[in-house]
Amino acid sequence: MEKLNNFTVLQPNNVNRKMYDKGIIGDGTSAVQSVRFDPQDKYLAVGCEDGSIKIFNVSNSKLVYTLNQRRNDGSGEEEKRPSTCIRWRPTGTSARTKNVLISVHADGSVQHWHTTSGKSLHKLYSNHNQLYCADFSPDGRFFATAGRDLIVRVYDETTKSVVTEFQPGGAGSPGHSNRIFSVKYNIQEPNILISGGWDNTIQIWDMREGCAVRAIFGPHVCGDSLDVRDNVILAGSWRDKEQLQIFYQGSGELINTIDWDGGVGIKRSAEPCQVYAAQYSKHDVGEMILAGGSKSNEARAFDTMNYNKPFAAIMDMPGPVFSVDFSHNGALAALGCADGYIRLLTISKTV
């Protein structure tokens, strides 16, 4: 057991992976809504409730850049609308400018940033909307956003114009009937993206068909808690039971409900964890899962190569975990928390 200020890392014996604390970063001034490692694992971007985006150097945990929205009225004053989701533009894109990320905000804005210069490259609005989620296509040619108005919009990254709007109704599945909190591209099938939200469905959208080709009923998605690897969907739900489930993308069939405690010696929490965030590891086709949430205010890491059993529990945090991320090399994990701090963890394989 390891203790660092205000969180504890617990691990069962005889597991193939180990997780250790690397430290706490941040200043605690604003709740962390989104965390993301850049493609080279050099920087960690942090989107905050006060609208700011903070960029930390991963190697020394120091704050190196702060990006602040500005009001659109010419005053130059800061715009303090929550940065609900951030995504780095993938490397390998034809765009010449590197170190670019997008952020979406509660005022319906989508902003492109050049992080190392602090410049805002482009800003657009989804009018009369609140945006809660975004994702880039694997090749970086498109990005998708979604939020309160039930529409998943796909934009051309070069022109910043809408190329597809996935709306309720029409052909295929009827689409969403309530707010959307997660949208995710399938990295192995770039024409497919999935979304989920308050309506207890996951919609599977196909760019070629222009509509949802399938719906999965059940998961109650309230944050960035969808992911897909090898055509298997991971879904985290904000509820007391069946918080983590995996489904076949092709059929929508439930494969497994992951036991949060796993029966391998990790202490059970006094309260269940209601999941806000969940993710597969990136470098190994999803050999690990990281998820966290509220009520018990904890996160857990699971080994998909060992029957989805947990290999670490991060507990005793003072508030909910709103966002999680693995580094691209699988050696680090980050938890974005409601108290305005980010918990960093290192991961190693023992065999």
What is the structure's pLDDT at 79? 65
Chain mean position to CA 133: 8
Cβ distance 157 to 89 under 8 Å? yes
Structural domains in the chain, CATH included, are: 1-30+222-350 (2.130.10.10)
Tell me how many degrees the CA angle 221-224-225 measures, rounded to the nearest 5: 55
pLDDT digits 0-9 by tens, 38-60 = 999 999 999 999 999 999 999 99
pLDDT digits 0-9 by tens, 225-281 = 999 999 999 999 999 999 999 999 999 999 999 999 876 566 677 889 999 999 999
CA-to-CA separations, 6 to 9, 20, 31, 298, 337, in angstroms, rounded: 10, 14, 16, 12, 12
What is the structure's pLDDT at 4? 43
What are the residue ranges in the chain where pLDDT is below 70?
1-5, 69-79, 93-94, 170-172, 263-267, 351
H-assigned helices in 154-263 = none
The residues that bridge with 88 in the sheet, in sequence order, are 101
Mind giving me the DSSP string for 242-287?
A: --EEEEETTT--EEEEE-SSTTSSPPPPSS-EEEEEEEE-TTTTSS
H-assigned helices in the chain = none
User: In b/e form, how buried is each residue of 171-193, taking b as 16+ CB within 10 angstroms?
Assistant: ebbbbbeebbbbbbbbbeeeebb
pTM for the structure as a whole = 0.94
